[in-house]
Every structure is written in structure tokens, then in C-alpha cells.
Amino acid sequence: MIRAALIAVVLAGSTVAHADAKSEAILLFDQGIKEMKAGQIEKACNSFERSIATYSDSGTKGSLARCYEKLGRLASSWKLWRELADLAPSGDLRRDAAAQAAKLEPKIGRYVIKLTNPPPDLAVTINGSPTKLTDVPVPIDAGGVIVRAYAAGRKDWSTELSATDGSVLTIEIPE
């Protein structure tokens, strides 16, 4: 009996926490919409990002995708549209997201990494995020790109490059 009451209290607490998170996400979303209308695009993107981190919602992801596009972060926008094309709750939303992604696809920048003989423990980061060695073009937002490579027994390597929309940046890591 006590165990059942304890479980009920825990479940009620998690429902309240869930409701609070959703309410906070809605407030952040509304704030983002107001910031977009006021032309405060960076602030709006930040509000949408915080909303999604609090409670993920497909409408907020679509708003963030639009926001990223206005900032010129086409690859980030494309990734969100692609995610929504696969996971949005309705067929209409999935089709719209796929159309938005298709519209951006030829415009986004991409990168490939070239390395002849990579050591097995090689770690590579792009703008601070770990990445895999790939010759498949990976979407990347236009702008500065900081590449770092690390491997045991080898000298650390880094370089600064620039990615541009609509082209492929080839990153050549020396042996």
C-alpha cells in the first residue's frame, strides 16, 4: 500500500515536471516568435534552441530551421528540415519539410576529409565537435572552420579554413 502511494507521488511529480518543461518551452517559443518579428534573428534562434532543449517539438524545429536560414546557417537549417521530413507527426508536415530541405540542398556547403594513412586512434574535431574521417561530403554552415587532429605519438595538428555555401571544402590532414 505504501509502495503504491510512493509510486503515485513519483508519477505525479514527473507529470508536473513534464508539464512545467512544456510550459517553459512554449514561453521560449513565443519569445522566439516575437524576436523574429522584431528582426532579432540571433536572439530568436537562441530562444528556439532553448525551447527545443527543454521540450522537443516539431513546430519549434521548423521555426528554428527558418531562423537558421535567415542567419545564413543553411546546413543547420537543412539538417532540421531533413529530420522533420522523417519524424514530423503528420504526412503534410513531413512533405513540407522534405520540400524545404530539397530547396536548400543545392545551396549548402559541405566538407570532406582527406588523409592517406590515418593512425587507428586519430581523433578529428571540426569547430569543436568530433567528426569521422569521410570522403562523403558532409553538410557544414558557411564561415570559419577550425579543424584539429590528434593521435598518440603524433604532433597535434590544426588549421583554420573557410566553408562557403554551394561548394565542397576539402580538408587535407597531413600524415
What 3-state class would DSSP assign to 140?
A: strand
Q: What is the pLDDT of residue 19?
A: 67
Is residue 13 very low, low, confident or very high in pLDDT (cuts 50, 70, 90)? very low
Residues 114-149: pLDDT tens digits? Answer: 988 889 899 999 999 999 888 899 999 999 999 999
- Given a contact cutoff of 8 angstroms between Cβ atoms, the answer to whether 140 and 107 are in contact is no
Q: State the sign of the Cα–Cα–Cα–Cα dihedral 88, 92, 97, 102.
A: positive
Q: What is the pLDDT of residue 12?
A: 42
SS percent in the chain: helix, strand, coil, step 5: 55, 20, 25
Task: Reply yes or no on whether the pLDDT at 10 is more than 70.
Answer: no
Instruction: Round to whole Å and give the CA distance between 138 and 121.
Output: 21
Residues 73-110: pLDDT tens digits? Answer: 999 999 999 999 999 999 999 999 999 999 999 999 99
Residues 73-83: pLDDT tens digits? Answer: 999 999 999 99
- Given a contact cutoff of 8 angstroms between Cβ atoms, the answer to whether 161 and 140 are in contact is no
pTM metric for this prediction: 0.83
Maximal CA-CA distance, the chain: 67
Q: What is the pLDDT of residue 135?
A: 80
Q: What is the pLDDT of residue 4?
A: 45
